[in-house]
A and B are shown apart, each in its own frame.
Chain A
Amino acid sequence: MGYNVLIVDDSMIIRKMVAKTLGISDLDISEYYFAENGREALKQLETHWVDIVFADINMPVMNGMEMIEAMGKKDLLSQIPVVIISTERSRERIEKLKAMGIGAYLQKPFVPEEFARVVKALLH
């Protein structure tokens, strides 16, 4: 059985780019779910089984850090690995994200090979 993924980004371009990168990797993906912000993502997580979340930080309504905090308060959701894909370069903020337990941090624009390597390490 393949993996279910949730892609959270207010940019349609990035949502499509992440989905396309997953599609050309040799990962077995069953379902793609999408959200434009953290609040929409939490709704998706309430109704679908998701194996891994890809999320931006800077989003309207609810940003990526607020989403991770909210996921951390729910037992089931806190176990789901979150890969942050962002333009964030601040060392302080990246350290904070790591302390919050994110699975990995990738900078935009990411290289597909690096992306696949990180995702495989988290899922296998």
Chain B
Amino acid sequence: MNQTDRALLLHIFASVFEDFAFMFVEDDPDEAPGLQGAGVQTRIDFKSTSDSGYMEVIAPLDFCNELAENILGADEEELPEDAGENALKEFLNVSCGYFLAEKFGTEVVFDLTIPGTREISGKQWAAVFEAGDHAYFLVDESPMMARFVLDS
């Protein structure tokens, strides 16, 4: 992911987190906490007549549950078990729509897939972090990683 895409991704994420859940992004934090407990990786693929690729985010499950609570203004016990995973998928869906419109303009028609998710371990989180292909940032002090990939 190049620096221009990284900057746009963080800009879009900051805006969507604030509007959607009143949560705030901290880019380039002094410390880089790892994953405590389970994590969730979610990915959405996109395709137009000329471009295709995907966007993915990885976040701790606890954070996803907080995201769901903030979006719906509800307590954890009021929400179904998969609310956190659903919230992250919806966040990615919204962010990807905004990102593509900013990067390619609104004249281009993109088809998006339904976001898919998988659970990841602390070891897998560390491997992704070490590879350095993802933007790393904090959201309300919780770590998160994301990347945008354009097929060549």
Contact = CB atoms under 8 A, between A and B. Distances in A.
Contacts of A11: 86, 89-90, 93
Interface residues on A, range: 20 to 34
A89 B98 contact: yes
B93 A87 contact: yes
Interface residues on B, range: 20 to 34
Contacts, number: 60
Interface string B68-103: 100111100000101100110110011011101100
Contacts of A87: 93-94, 96-98, 112
A88 B90 contact: no
B80 A89 contact: no
A45 B94 CA distance: 28
A12 interface: yes
Nearest to A16: B72
Contacts of A14: 90
A108 B87 CA distance: 13
A124 B4 CA distance: 47
A17 B109 CA distance: 27
B24 interface: no
11 contacts: A10-B114, A11-B89, A13-B72, A16-B74, A17-B71, A60-B114, A87-B94, A87-B112, A89-B100, A90-B101, A108-B94
Given A60-B114, A87-B96, 9 more contacts: A11-B90, A11-B93, A12-B83, A13-B87, A86-B97, A89-B106, A90-B106, A90-B109, A108-B97
